[in-house]
Chain A
Amino acid sequence: GAVVSQHPSRVICKSGTSVKIECRSLDFQATTMFWYRQFPKKSLMLMATSNEGSKATYEQGVEKDKFLINHASLTLSTLTVTSAHPEDSSFYICSATLGGGDVETQYFGPGTRLLVL
């Protein structure tokens, strides 16, 4: 149980284009989903917290207009990297929690590797 999927797993795009990444909880309803970014050999960096039906809460330093997050349902959240640039190349990972408690185990998707040329 508690399986999270991400699509696509890998994407290469040209600079200036937008890329959408989907995160789905397959066998549970996720009240909260998280979006992370990870650089090689670095820790996970939380970008934003997303609750179904409400606006995402972005971490300091993360541009809301550049990284658009939509949590349309209890099983789907999307991250759109708008006007991507080479510095946006990274490993993007989503996670989801079952909800209901103050401390929840996060279940991670397999990640999306983005390369912007």
Chain B
Amino acid sequence: GQNIDQPTEMTATEGAIVQINCTYQTSGFNGLFWYQQHAGEAPTFLSYNVLDGLEEKGRFSSFLSRSKGYSYLLLKELQMKDSASYLCAVVDSNYQLIWGAGTKLIIKP
């Protein structure tokens, strides 16, 4: 079966750095998305990786290793507004999006 694993919850301190991991086992791979979802709101797009390596976009970076079936989202200089759930989603061989359950990130002052 297809599976996306993310930690359920993480806690970090304002101003610090946090890494949210995502591992996947899917039938084929055509890219991986990270979305941010604030409580009670719809997800918003953060990043898309299809090639191995690190892509940086401001305070957020996303890394992919296809051979390891692994990605992480790195958030730097954490702000209170970064408190949200972070969803990992993989595009499989049929170009279907397989969603992880999300990681709830709690930022403490």
Interface of A toward B, CB cutoff 8 Å: 6, 41-46, 91, 93, 95, 102-103, 105-111, 113
Residue of B nearest to A113 (CB): B40
Residue B50 lies at the interface, judged by CB distance under 8 Å to chain A: yes
In the bound complex, do residue B42 and residue A111 qualify as a contact, i.e. CB atoms below 8 Å apart?
yes
Give the tally of cross-chain contacts (CB within 8 A).
45
Residues of chain B within 8 A (CB-CB) of A103 are 30-31, 48, 50, 91, 95
Given A43-B101, A43-B102: A102 in contact with B43 (beta carbons within 8 A): no
B: contact size bracket: 20 to 34
CB-based closest 3 A-B pairs: A108-B42, A43-B101, A43-B99
Q: Is the interface of B mostly helix, strand, loop or mixed?
A: loop
6 contacts between A and B (CB under 8 A): A43-B101, A44-B87, A91-B40, A102-B30, A103-B50, A113-B40
